[in-house]
Amino acid sequence: MRYIIKILLFPITPIFSLFIIILKLLLGLGTKILFLILLITFLGAIGEFLIAKEYVFGLWVLLIAFLLSQYGIPLVGATILGVLEIIRDRIKEI
């Protein structure tokens, strides 16, 4: 029974590995782009605080900047990627 499962999962393993590699590249590129957007939004939030005196809007912009930082959306993507790698390793162990 184990050999039948191995034969059935064999074509999935390289495709899954290629999918993980593509996701790693997209995550790296997306993190760099999000960092540039983070800088712009952070400077906009500072401008809202100091120049326009719009504190509530400035706090919302800071929240968006936090989500764009390394601890927001990229962290969620890295966590999902880690789970996919664990699943790939478990498939290879069969």
Give the model's pLDDT for residue 86. Answer: 92
Give the start-to-end residue ranges of the domains of the chain.
2-93
pTM: 0.71
Task: Give 83's Cβ-side CA count (13 Å radius).
Answer: 5
- Among candidates 67, 72, 64, 77, which has minimal Cα distance to 28? 77
Give the model's pLDDT for residue 56. Answer: 84
The tens-digit pLDDT sequence of the chain (94 residues) is 778 888 888 888 888 889 999 999 998 898 888 888 888 888 888 888 888 888 888 888 888 888 777 788 888 889 999 999 998 888 888 7
Give the model's pLDDT for residue 82. Answer: 92
Cite the DSSP H helix spans in the chain. Answer: 2-9, 12-47, 55-68, 73-93
